[in-house]
Amino acid sequence: MTTGTKQVKVEAARRRGFQLGDFLGRFGLIFVWAAVALVFALIQPDKFLTEGTFTTIFGSQAVLLVLAMALVIPFAAGEYDLSVSGVLSVSLVLVGELNVNQGWPILAVLAVVLLAGAVIGAVNAFFVVGVGVDSLVVTLGMGTLLVGAGFGINIETTGGISQGLQEAVNTQFLSLPLAFYYGVALTLVLWYVFRYTPLGRYLYFVGSGRDVARLAGIRVQALRAGSLIASATIAAAAGVLLAGSLGSADPNIAQTYLLPAFAAAFLGATAINPGRFNPLGTFIAVYFLVTGITGLQLLGLAGWIGDIFYGGSLILAVSFSHLAARRRRVE
Amino acid sequence: MTRQGQEEGIVYLSIMRRLLALAAIAVGCLVLLSACGSDDESGDTTAAQETTASETTEEAGSEVEELVAQSLEPATGFDPPGPAFDASAAAGKRIYLIAPMSIPFVQQGVTGLEEAAEVVGAEIVAIDGKGQVNDYVRGIEQAIAQKADVILIESFPVTLFESQMAKAKRAGIPVISVENHDPGPMPPDTPDAVFGSVNQCHACAGEAMAQFTIADSGGEAKVVVIWSSDVAGIGEPQVEAIESTFADLCADCTVEVVDAPLAQWSTRLGNLTQSTLTANPDVNYLLPLYDGMVSFIEPAVKQAGAASRVKIVSFNATPSVMESLEQGGPVVADVGVGNVRLGWAIADQAFRAIAGVDPIEDPKIPVRLFTAENIDTIDVSAPEETWFGDPAEWRQGYEELWTGGS
C-alpha cells in the first residue's frame, strides 16, 4: 500500500512538473518581457511609464510585425524565405513609382503590388517545389535579384505618396496608428488558421516531416508552394504599409528588415507553442525586442547596445527553449 | 519510478534555475547600462549652461543672424584650392573610382568627375563597391591588376584595405581617399600609398545647421542631434562643430547627441525618434546629420504628437527633401554642398597626383544653407549644381587652374 500511495504521489508530482514546465515554456518569454519592462520602469519611471513610451513601442513596428508574420508561414511548412525583404523593397519602390511618378490611383497600385508579390512567390515556388532546389538558395537568389530590381525601377527617393494611403496607415486610434491594428488583425487571422483549421495543422505536419505527411495523404507540394506565395504576398503588403507610414519610397531602406524579421520569427518559436513557429509567439517576440530597444534608448543608449540586446536575447531565448524541448523529449 | 520523478524534479529545477539566471543576467546588464546612462545625463547638465549677462546674448544674437545671412547666399567667384599646375599629363590616363554607385549623390559626383576628365582627356572607370568591403577589395585589386594610374576610394576609410594599399604602393599607383573625414592633414595612420584626400567640409555644414537653429529659435533651442557612428570619420567633425557652435553662441540652448547607425535607419530610427521625444518633452529641434534620415524621422515625430513643436534641420540637400522644404515640409533648413563640384575637386586632386605636384588639403567647396527664405531663388527641379551659385564660374576656375604652370 505504501508503495502504491508513493506511486500515486509521484505521478501527481510528475503531472504538476509537466504542467509547470509546459507553462514556463509557453509563457516564459512573456515573463521575461514583463521583467524587462519592470526593470526599465523601476530605473526611470518618469520616462518609461508614459503614454509616449507605450505608443513608441506599439506604434512603430507594424512593418516588422507583418514581415515576421509572412515568414511564419513558410517556416511552419519547413521552407525558408530569404526573399521577403527583396519583395518589401520592390513593393515599396513600385508604390512610389506607380503612384507618384506614373500617377496611378492608389487602389490600382495596391492591386498590382499585391499581385506582383504573389507572382514572385509563385516563381519561388516553381523553383523550390517544381524544380526541387533548396528554398534557402532560391529565395536568397530571388531576394538579391529583387533588391537590384528595386534600384532598377527607381534609384531616387520618391516623396508625395497618396495621402489616402498615408491616412489609412497613420491615422491614430487609441493613440496608435492604424498600421498596428492591421498587424494585430493579420496575427489573429494566422493564429486562427494555425490553431483551428486543418490547413494550419497540415502546414505544421509538412514542416515536421514531408514524407510522412505525403504518406498521410496531405498535398505536400501544394502546401509548400502555397506557403511561399503567401509569404511573398504578405511581404508585398508590408511594403505598402511601409510606403504609407513613410509617405515616401526608396530602394535603399528595405533590406535591413530581413534579419530582425527572422530574429522575431525564431524568437517567437520559443513562446506560446514552443518549438513551432507560431503567430502569437512572433507577435510577443516583436514587441519584447522593441520594448528592450526603447528602454535602452530612453536611457540614452542607442546604437550598438541595441544590437547586443537583440542578438543576445535571441541566442538566450532560443537556447533555453531548445534545452527545455530536449529535456522533454528525453523524458 | 521514484528515480524518474526525482530526475524530472531536477530537470525542472534546472530549467527554473536557467530562467532565473536569464532574468538575473538581463537585470544585471540593465543596471550596468543604467550607470552609463546616468553618465550621459551628467554630460547633458554640463551642456546646459547657466545664462550669462543679457548683453552678450544680444551680441551673440546679431552675430548669429549675420552668419546665417551669409550661409543663405550662393557662392560667387572661385577660391582656388591650391597652386595652378599643368594637368596635361593626365591625358590618356585611367582613373579608377571605387564607390557605392547606388547612392544618388555619389552618382552626381561621378558626373562631375567624368566632365572634368573629359577636359584633360583622362578616362574614368567607375566600379560599384556596393557599400561592402569585399566588393571594395575586389574593385581595388581589379584597378591594380589593370594598371590604373590613380585609384579613388570613396566612403570607406583607406585604412581598412591595408594589404591592398601595400600592393598599390608596390605598383606605384597613388590612392586618393574621398569623403572619409574633414578637410585637413591626413590622419597619422594613413598608408604610404595614399597621395591625399578630398572631403566636403562637414564641420562647416554642422556650423551652418547650428547657427540657423540658434537664430530660428531666438536662442532657445533644445536640440537633439542624430548621427551615425558607423560613418564616424565624417560624422564626428560635424557633431563637434554643432556642439561648439552652440557652446559659443547660445548659452540657453541644450544639445543632446544620439546614435542611429546607417544599418539601423529603416528599422530603428523611427523608434529612436519617438523615444527621444518622449524622454525629452521640451525638445524643439531635431538635427539629423543626413537628410536621408528625415523620411524615418518625420512619421515618428507625427506619431509622437510632436509635429507642432519640433522642427528639423539637416544636411545633404537631397532633391526629395529640398522639394518638401519648398512645400513648407517638416524640414525647415537643409545645408548642402554641390556634388558635381565635389566630382571636379576629386578630379583636381587626381590630376595633381598624376602631374606629380603636392596634394591639396582642402578643396574649399562652399556649403549653402537652404530655408524658406531662399528656396524660391533656386529651381529645385533643375540640376543640383545650379543651386550653389553659377557653375560656370568654378568650372572655368578649375580649367584655368589646370593650364597654369606651363
Q: Which of B36, B271, B298 sits opposite A294 (nearest CB)?
A: B271
Query: Is B316 at the interface with chain A, CB within 8 A?
Result: no
Instruction: Scan for cell 515640409, then name that residue.
Output: B329
B145 vs A: CB within 8 A: no
Nearest partner of B249 among B49, B41, B45, judged by Cα: B49
Using a 10 angstrom Cβ sphere, with 0-12 exposed, 13-18 middle and 19 or more buried, the burial of residue A111 is exposed
Chain A residues lying within 8 Å of B263, measured CB to CB: 256
Instruction: Summarize the confidence of residues B11-38 as an average pLDDT.
Output: 38
Q: How confident is the model at residue A11 (pLDDT cuts 50, 70, 90)?
A: low
Q: What is the pLDDT of residue B32?
A: 37
pLDDT in tens, A63-106: 999 999 999 999 999 999 999 999 999 999 999 999 999 999 99
Interface contacts (A, B; CB < 8 Å): 193
Task: Please tell me the predicted confidence (pLDDT) of residue B31.
Answer: 35
Out of A177, A299, A300, name the one closest to residue B303 (CB).
Answer: A177
Rounded average pLDDT over B364-390: 93
Q: Around Cβ A137, how many Cβ atoms within 10 Å?
A: 13
Q: At what angle do helices A62-76 and A220-246 cross, to 10 degrees?
A: 170
The b/e string for B301-330 (b: 16+ C-beta within 10 A; e otherwise) is bbbbebeeebbbbbbbbbbbbbbbbbeebb
Sequence-separated (6 or more) residues with CB below 8 Å from residue A264 = A64, A65, A68, A282, A285, A286, A289
Return the top range by mean pLDDT from A48-52, A229-233, A298-302: A229-233
Grid cell at residue A275 = 518549438
| Residues of chain A found within 8 Å of residue B281, distances taken between Cβ atoms | 52
Which residues lie below 8 Å from residue A136, measured CB to CB, with a gap of 6+? Answer: A80, A82
How does pLDDT run across B249-261, given as a tens digit for each residue?
999 999 999 999 8
Work out the average pLDDT over B40-65. Answer: 53
Contacts with A252 from chain B: Cβ below 8 Å: 102-103, 292
CB atoms B8 and A296 under 8 Å: no
How far is the C-alpha of B271 from the C-alpha of B286, rounded, in Å?
Answer: 14
Instruction: Collect all residues of chain A within an 8 Å Cβ-Cβ radius of residue B320.
Output: 156-159, 248
Percent of chain A topping pLDDT 70 = 92
* CA gap B342, B338 in Å, rounded: 6
Is a pLDDT exceeding 80 seen at residue B2? no
What CA–CA distance (Å, rounded) separates A305 from B370? 35
Q: Which of A17, A31, A35 sits opposite B8 (nearest CB)?
A: A17
**pLDDT at residue A113 is higher than 70:** yes
Q: Strands, E, within B66-122: which ranges? A: 94-99
Residue B24 confidence (pLDDT): 40
What number of residues does chain A have? 331
Query: Which amino acid, B24?
Result: A
Statement: residue B406 has pLDDT above 70: no
> What gap in Å lies between CA B345 and CA B332, rounded to an integer?
29
Instruction: Determine the pLDDT at residue A10.
Output: 54
How does DSSP classify residue B288?
Answer: E
Query: Which residues in chain A have their CB less than 8 angstroms from residue B302's CB?
Result: 170
- Please say if the pLDDT value at position A4 is more than 70: no
Alpha-carbon gap, residue A301 to B235, rounded angstroms: 18
C-alpha cell at A19: 504542467
Tell me if B272 and A305 make a contact (CB, 8 A cut-off): no
Phi, psi (rounded to 5 degrees) for A174? 50, 50
B90: DSSP letter:
G
Residue A86 confidence (pLDDT): 96
Q: Which three cell numbers stand for residue B48?
A: 546646459
Residue B25, pLDDT score: 40
pLDDT at position B55 = 47
Average pLDDT value for residue range B279-291: 93
Predicted local distance difference test score (pLDDT) of residue A98: 96
Instruction: Classify burial at B113, counting beta carbons within 10 Å of its beta carbon; exposed 0-12, middle 13-18, buried 19 or more.
Output: buried
The answer for B 48-67 residues in CB contact with A (under 8 A) is: none
pTM of the model: 0.79
Q: What is the mean pLDDT of chain A?
A: 88
pLDDT in tens, B307-321: 889 999 999 998 889
Alpha helices in B73-103 (DSSP H): none
Per-residue model confidence as pLDDT tens digits over A21-42: 777 778 888 888 999 899 999 9
Set of cell numbers at residue A229 = 506565395
In chain A, positions 222-261, which contact chain B (CB-CB < 8 Å)? Answer: 245-248, 250-254, 256-257, 260
- B50 DSSP 8-state letter: P
Whether the predicted pLDDT of A261 surpasses 80: yes
Q: How far is CA A79 from CA A128, B161, B370, in A?
A: 9, 38, 51
B21 touches chain A (CB under 8 A): no
Q: What is the dihedral of CA B118, B120, B126, B132, to 10 degrees?
A: -130
What are the tens digits of pLDDT across the range A116-145?
999 999 999 999 999 999 999 999 999 999
Which residues make Cβ contacts (< 8 Å) with residue A250, sequence separation at least 6?
Answer: A92, A93, A96, A156, A157, A158, B292, B295
What local confidence, expressed as pLDDT, does residue A266 receive?
Answer: 92
Size of chain B, expressed as the number of residues it contains: 406
SS3 sequence, chain A?
A: CHHHHHHHHHHHHHHHHHHHHHHHHHHHHHHHHHHHHHHHHHHCHHHHCCHHHHHHHHHCCHHHHHHHHHHHHHHHCCCCCCCHHHHHHHHHHHHHHHHHHCCCCHHHHHHHHHHHHHHHHHHHHHHHHHHCCCHHHHHHHHHHHHHHHHHHHCCCCEECCCHHHHHHHHCEECCEEHHHHHHHHHHHHHHHHHHHCHHHHHHHHHHHCHHHHHHCCCCHHHHHHHHHHHHHHHHHHHHHHHHHHHCEECCCCCHHHHHHHHHHHHHHCCCCCCCCCCHHHHHHHHHHHHHHHHHHHHCCCCCHHHHHHHHHHHHHHHHHHHHHHHHHHHC
pLDDT at B3: 43
In this prediction, residue B56 carries a pLDDT of: 52
In a mutagenesis test of the B interface, which of A56, A255, A262 is the best target, namely the one with the most B β-carbons within 10 Å? A56
The residues, ordered by sequence, that sit 6+ positions from A124 with a Cβ below 8 Å of its Cβ are A81, A83, A135, A138, A139, A142, A228, A229, A232
Contacts of B166 by beta carbon, 8 Å cutoff, 6+ apart:
B191, B193
What integer pLDDT is reported at residue B253 of this predicted model? 95
The residues facing B128 across adjacent strands are B99
Tell me which chain B residue has its CA closest to the CA of residue A47: B279
Residue B6 has pLDDT above 80, yes or no: no
pLDDT attached to residue A175:
85
Across A47-61, A246-260, B24-38, B282-296, least confident range = B24-38
Collect all residues with Cβ–Cβ distance below 8 Å to B11 and sequence separation of at least 6. A17, A21, A327, A331
* Mean pLDDT on A292-299: 87
Q: Return all residues near A63 (Cβ < 8 A) that are at least 6 apart.
A: A88, A179, A238, A241, A242, A245, A257
Cα dist from B283 to B180, B278, B304, B311, whole Å? 31, 9, 12, 9
Side by side, which strands form the sheet with B285-288?
Answer: B254-259, B222-227, B285-288, B311-315, B331-337, B367-371
* Model pLDDT, residue B163: 87
Residue A14 scores a pLDDT above 60: no
In chain B, % of residues over pLDDT 70: 85
Q: For residue A247, list chain B residues with Cβ-Cβ distance below 8 A.
A: 295, 298-299
**Out of A130-144, A297-311, B362-376, least confident range:** A297-311
A173: left (phi over 0), alpha (psi -120 to 50) or beta: beta
Q: Where are the beta strands (DSSP E) in B80-134?
A: 94-99, 123-128
Chain-centroid distance of CA B334 in Å reads 13
pLDDT recorded at residue B210 = 96
**Cβ count within 10 A of residue A183:** 24
The residue of A9, A60, A156 whose CB has the most chain B CBs within 10 angstroms, and thus the best one to mutate to test that interface, is A60
Tell whether B296 lies on the interface with A, counting CB pairs under 8 A.
yes
Query: Best mutation site among B266, B309, B320 for testing chain A: the one with the most A CBs within 10 Å?
Result: B266
| Mutation for testing the B interface, residue in A297, A304, A313, A329 having most B CBs under 10 Å | A297
Q: Is B132 on the interface with A (CB under 8 A)?
A: no
